């Protein structure tokens, strides 16, 4: 039997799992409008490639992952007309708005039939497929970590393929109260999950695959064990039920005894972790040629009539899901995306679900307070230094110390107490007798530090730009001066050369003019002599003529 390693701390809140597991996974159907967020994965938001008025088929890419960035494609969850691309409130703790593609559905739910409209060929023989083809398929289909981190799976797998992977851990712990989507997926689709695991095995060639499931899910353990019975290299491991065993670092510790050092990734320690829902998506992408257009979401809490798990289209409003679960009860006072420990409150039910939405918890304020004292309406009391928070922290932090430093706005000291290693599990808040919402302080401090770092980065960038501008001006000045000096030197050289040439040229010209003069004189003398000779000849001719005439006249007489 495999050794199970204990983790530090942890808590046992009321789990409330049975409410939503009495019925099989239902189909949430097609709402009249789907609001598809561009911000539903870690990294850069996707870029819309459709326009208002376009008809889109189910599965067609409507927003593309940014090139060379951590990002993921987004597909039309159903067919219809793009009604708008505009800002809508996002399911995020900030409740801020972000870019969404709004689709008016035509209720045909028609898949694209050509490559241009998103059709992908199924690859049932994945064991003989080229790994590059499978990796491309994972990228095309927009798969992200469905356990909550929503990190693009193609990027994670590419990292894993560059490291020797000893253990592939499939996270089926699902420790958060109320959430049962992975449990129901394992119960109902175990064969498909095993195929998804085999695809990852084919890609990263791990020595072993371990499926970790909390022992409060006996049916899931049974069905997964059945499905893995004749599959070599895959083992189902039942682990003790304790929150937060589903945090991947905790699960790695429980299954292998290995502690992933702070600030490093598990692949660097030879371990790859994927959520149950993620491997199921890998199966759908490869074997069925389907992108991520829907997910299993738990719709639960005493605020809905019939809590249940649904296969819900991405972009369906929370109100639509509540309707599918029989509508609201009188106790529907709060809406939480996720569970009561790590989830966050949403301000209205028109907000759409995203790939990360594992649970829509509609709940009364009283029940929420019971589940997590962070939501308690009891007044916060001073810290009594009981150290219960320290005992409960699975990461071995000093929650009360961090709290004091954050209250004093001394973020540096909070960081020195390893604030960044806090996984925001809420165990400390849960046990605090003074009802201090500790985890809210850590979230606030992390956001504050992120903002400060962002501002610092911007300031550094501006300073670097300014320094570079000065450097460039100085360099250009130096270059101009050097050019001017070179030009001056060239001119000087030219002048000197011209002077030298002139000096040589004058001598030559003087010689030349003397010769010319002599020639001219000679020519003039010659011309004068020729004229003189001509005159003499003329005179002599005139004389002969006169004597001849006289002789003639004398003879006539
Ligand atoms: S559990 Fe609450 S009261 Fe006790 S030490 Fe921690 S912060 Fe203080
Ligand atoms: S929220 Fe952070 S500090 Fe509190 S128990 Fe969890 S990991 Fe520890």
């065993």: which residue's tokens?
Answer: 245
Do 390 and 333 share a structural domain? no
Q: Across the strands, what pairs with 345?
A: 336
Domain count of the chain?
Answer: 2
Do 419 and 344 share a structural domain? no
pLDDT, position 514:
62
Do 266 and 134 share a structural domain? yes
Contact 325, 307 (CB under 8 A): yes
Q: Hey, what's the torsion of the CAs at 124, 126, 132, 133, to 10 degrees?
A: -10
Substitution candidate for ligand 2 out of 248, 339, 417, 423 with most atoms within 8 A of CB: 423
Distance of CA 50 to the CA centre of its chain: 20
Name the H helices within 241-398.
248-256, 276-287, 318-324, 365-371, 388-392
- In short, whether 422's Cβ falls inside 6 Å of ligand 2 is yes
**Nearest atom (ligand 2) to Cα of 426:** 1
Looking at the chain, the number of H-run helices and the number of E-run strands are 14, 17
pLDDT mean values, one per 10 residues, the chain (557 residues): 92 94 97 96 94 97 92 97 96 88 97 91 94 96 92 94 95 97 98 97 96 97 96 95 96 96 90 97 97 98 98 98 98 95 93 97 90 75 95 96 95 94 94 91 91 88 91 93 93 91 70 66 83 79 52 38
Ligand 1, CB within 6 Å, residue ranges: 383-389, 399-400, 403, 431-434, 436, 438
Do 360 and 409 share a structural domain? no
**Nearest atom (ligand 2) to Cα of 424:** 1
Please name the residue whose Cα sits nearest to atom 7 of ligand 2. 422
Do 436 and 361 share a structural domain? no
- pTM listed for this prediction: 0.81
Q: Residue 55: which H helix or E strand, with range?
A: strand 55-56
- In short, whether 109's Cβ falls inside 6 Å of ligand 2 is no
Substitution candidate for ligand 1 out of 385, 398, 401 with most atoms within 8 A of CB: 385
pLDDT, position 509:
55
Domain extent, residue 463, equals 383-501
What is the rounded distance in angstroms from the CA atom of residue 240 to the CA atom of residue 260? 20
CA of 342 to the centre of ligand 2 (A): 11
φ, ψ (nearest 5 deg) of residue 55: -90, 135
Contact 356, 391 (CB under 8 A): no
Do 403 and 313 share a structural domain? no
CATH number of the structural domain spanning residue 330:
3.40.50.11540
Contact 376, 334 (CB under 8 A): no
Substitution candidate for ligand 1 out of 436, 439, 440, 442 with most atoms within 8 A of CB: 436
CA of 173 to the centre of ligand 2 (A): 19
pLDDT, position 519:
77
- In short, whether 395's Cβ falls inside 6 Å of ligand 2 is yes
User: Could you tell me if residue 348 is inside a domain?
Assistant: yes
Nearest by Cα to 99 from 163, 49, 25: 49
Please name the residue whose Cα sits nearest to atom 1 of ligand 1. 432
End-of-domain residue from the set 501, 521, 545: 501
> β-strands 47-48, 26-27: how paired?
unpaired
User: Could you tell me if residue 72 is inside a domain?
Assistant: no
Do 388 and 348 share a structural domain? no
Helix, strand, coil in percent for the chain, rounding step 5: 45, 15, 40
User: Could you tell me if residue 140 is inside a domain?
Assistant: yes
pLDDT, position 557:
32
**Nearest atom (ligand 1) to Cα of 403:** 7
The ligand that comes nearest to the alpha carbon of residue 431 is 1
End-of-domain residue from the set 342, 367, 392: 367
CA of 386 to the centre of ligand 1 (A): 5
Contact 81, 103 (CB under 8 A): yes
pLDDT, position 543:
60
pLDDT, position 373:
66
pLDDT, position 132:
95
**Nearest atom (ligand 2) to Cα of 425:** 6
End-of-domain residue from the set 312, 338, 367: 367
CA of 445 to the centre of ligand 1 (A): 18
> β-strands 97-105, 33-37: how paired?
antiparallel
φ, ψ (nearest 5 deg) of residue 238: -80, 130
The ligand that comes nearest to the alpha carbon of residue 398 is 2
DSSP for residue 408 = T
Contact 274, 171 (CB under 8 A): yes
Q: Which two tokens stand for residue 187?
A: 């119960």
Do 434 and 323 share a structural domain? no
Substitution candidate for ligand 1 out of 399, 417, 430 with most atoms within 8 A of CB: 399
User: Could you tell me if residue 100 is inside a domain?
Assistant: no
Q: Which two tokens stand for residue 491?
A: 């001119």
Do 476 and 429 share a structural domain? yes
Do 412 and 331 share a structural domain? no
Please name the residue whose Cα sits nearest to atom 8 of ligand 1. 383
User: Could you tell me if residue 521 is inside a domain?
Assistant: no
- In short, whether 428's Cβ falls inside 6 Å of ligand 2 is yes
CA of 429 to the centre of ligand 2 (A): 8
By CB atoms closer than 10 A (0-12, 13-18, 19+), residue 267 is buried
Nearest by Cα to 300 from 337, 264, 273: 337
């Amino acid at each position: 039997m495999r050794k199970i390693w204990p983790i530090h701390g942890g808590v046992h809140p009321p789990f409330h799992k049975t409410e939503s597991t009495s019925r099989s996974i239902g189909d949430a159907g097609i709402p009249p409008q789907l609001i598809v967020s561009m911000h539903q994965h870690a990294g850069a938001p996707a870029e819309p490639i459709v326009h208002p008025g376009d008809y889109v088929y189910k599965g067609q890419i409507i927003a593309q992952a940014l090139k060379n960035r951590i990002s993921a494609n987004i597909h039309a969850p159903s067919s219809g007309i793009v009604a708008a691309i505009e800002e809508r409130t996002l399911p995020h703790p900030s409740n801020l708005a972000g870019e969404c593609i709004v689709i008016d559905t035509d209720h045909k739910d028609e898949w694209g039939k050509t490559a241009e409209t998103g059709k992908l060929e199924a690859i049932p023989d994945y064991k003989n497929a080229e790994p590059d083809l499978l990796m491309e398929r994972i990228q095309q289909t927009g798969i992200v970590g469905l356990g909550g981190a929503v990190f693009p799976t193609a990027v994670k797998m590419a990292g894993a393929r560059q490291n020797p992977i000893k253990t592939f851990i499939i996270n089926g712990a699902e420790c958060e109260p109320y959430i049962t989507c992975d449990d129901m997926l394992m119960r109902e689709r175990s064969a498909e999950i095993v195929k998804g695991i085999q695809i990852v095995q084919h890609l990263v060639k791990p020595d072993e695959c371990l499926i970790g499931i909390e022992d409060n899910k006996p049916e899931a353990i049974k069905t997964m064990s059945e499905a893995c019975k004749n599959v070599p290299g895959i083992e189902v491991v039942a682990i003790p039920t304790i929150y937060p065993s589903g945090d991947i670092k905790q699960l790695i510790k429980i299954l292998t005894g290995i502690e992933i050092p702070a600030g490093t990734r598990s692949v660097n320690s030879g371990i790859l972790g994927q959520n149950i829902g993620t491997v199921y998506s890998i199966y759908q992408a490869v074997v069925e040629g389907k992108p991520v257009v829907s997910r299993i979401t738990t719709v639960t809490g005493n605020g809905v009539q019939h809590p249940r798990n649904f296969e819900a289209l991405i972009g369906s409003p929370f109100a639509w899901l509540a309707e599918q679960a029989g509508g609201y009860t009188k106790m529907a006072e709060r809406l939480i995306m996720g569970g009561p420990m790590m989830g966050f409150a949403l301000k209205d039910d028109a907000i759409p679900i995203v790939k990360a939405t594992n649970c829509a918890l509609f709940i009364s304020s009283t029940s929420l307070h019971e589940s997590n004292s962070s939501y308690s309406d009891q007044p916060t009391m001073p810290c009594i230094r009981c150290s219960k928070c320290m005992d409960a922290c699975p990461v071995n932090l000093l929650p009360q110390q961090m709290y004091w430093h954050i209250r004093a706005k001394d973020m540096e000291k909070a960081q020195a107490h390893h604030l960044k290693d806090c996984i925001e599990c809420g165990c400390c808040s849960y046990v605090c007798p003074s009802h201090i919402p500790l985890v809210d302080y850590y979230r606030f401090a992390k956001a504050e530090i992120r903002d400060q770092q962002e501002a610092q980065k911007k300031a550094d960038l501006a300073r670097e730009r300014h320094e570079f501008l000065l450097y460039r001006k100085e360099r250009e000045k130096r270059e101009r001066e050097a050019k001017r000096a070179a030009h001056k030197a060239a001119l000087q050289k030219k002048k000197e050369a011209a002077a030298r040439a002139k000096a040589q040229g004058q001598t030559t010209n003087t010689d030349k003019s003397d010769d010319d003069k002599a020639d001219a004189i000679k020519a003039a003398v010659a011309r004068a002599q020729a004229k003189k000779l001509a005159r003499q000849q003329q005179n002599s001719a005139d004389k002969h003529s006169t004597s001849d005439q006289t002789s003639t006249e004398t003879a006539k007489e």
